[in-house]
Amino acid sequence: MTASKVRKFVALGTVAAALAVAVAAPARVAADTVKWLVDSNDMSGNTLVLQVQSSSPFKSLFLYPNGAFKISVVSPPACRAVPAPQGQGVGCTLGSATSATVKFMAPIPVGTSAKLVLDNADGSGARTLTATLESCGAFEANLESASDKLGQADTDYRGALHDLVQVENAGLALLFWGELGALAHDKAVDDFHAAQKRLAAAREEVEKARKALEDCQGTSTRGLLSSGRRADCTEVEWTPLLARSEKLKLRKFAPLMRKIIAERRRKQKTAASHDLKRLHAQLKAEAKAAKGLMKAVDACK
């Protein structure tokens, strides 16, 4: 997964709404929420986005940063640069709204606080809130790194599954090799289980990184890749495949093969034949299940 793709995704919620003010929705939030963030699309760090969600309608908003800053390129058109106690601030005349997204440019350092004034639409006065400029860049980078690791874990898992199926497809030939064949099978099983664990751990890390980014942005990133770099395999499709993978019953064949070899040496032909048939039946059932899983996984990419 490339850095540009992650930055593009992370900024979707911000950029899509940056040129419009969201008018009041039927449902009301329980409290006023404010997010003032550095736009991750602008590498200069000077493009800022203010997101306001109000518990009651407001007709205008004013943001007064603590510092002598010059404001430029304000959007949407309902907003503009206004005089502030120190330098300039941002003012918007909205009519009546319960939410707003304002985008503007200013060389304001992360951590700077600002006074946010919301004029109530019913004429009952104004509310004063505090906004602090944040950057989610570190969380975005962490999610990008975790997603790259998930992509590699995904590739390793698929490769281990293919190797397992290839070994099991040898069928009777595998049994003809005796203990060496059983050991080759058991190694493929161990490699597949290890790949399963790495994939599960990588998915967990992505979930943690995604949650941290959501907490910073105040928006959902659920649409991000669910199976590593294969963006077409959705969470809905991928989750049951992993559950199916966990239920795959893979046995170690070396112990039973050693038993068969020992029975043959002791001339216990009936016992050896019985155990060989049992081993073959187990291998056949296992190979069928693994092959079915492989086809389903290959289709989800």
Tokens linked to 236: 């809905």
Mean pLDDT, residues 46-62: 93
- Residues 6 or more apart whose CB falls under 8 angstroms from that of 8 comprise 41
Question: Which part of the chain is CATH 2.60.40?
Answer: 3-135
Average pLDDT over residues 49-66: 94
Q: Is 0.85 surpassed by the pTM of this model?
A: no
> Coil, strand, or helix at residue 112?
coil
The label of the residue with tokens 């929420």 reads 33
* HSE-up (13 A, CA, CB side) for residue 131: 31
Q: What distance in Å separates the CA atoms of residue 209 and residue 231, rounded to the nearest whole number?
A: 18
CATH code 2.60.40 for 3-135: yes
Show Cβ contacts of residue 15 under 8 Å, excluding neighbours closer than 6 positions. 39, 41
271-295 pLDDT per residue, tens: 888 887 888 888 888 888 889 989 9
Using one digit for the tens of pLDDT, what is the confidence trace for 184-237?
Answer: 888 999 999 999 999 999 999 999 999 998 888 876 444 443 444 444 577 778
CA atoms within 13 A on the CB side of 291: 12
Structure-token match 């330098």, residue found: 87
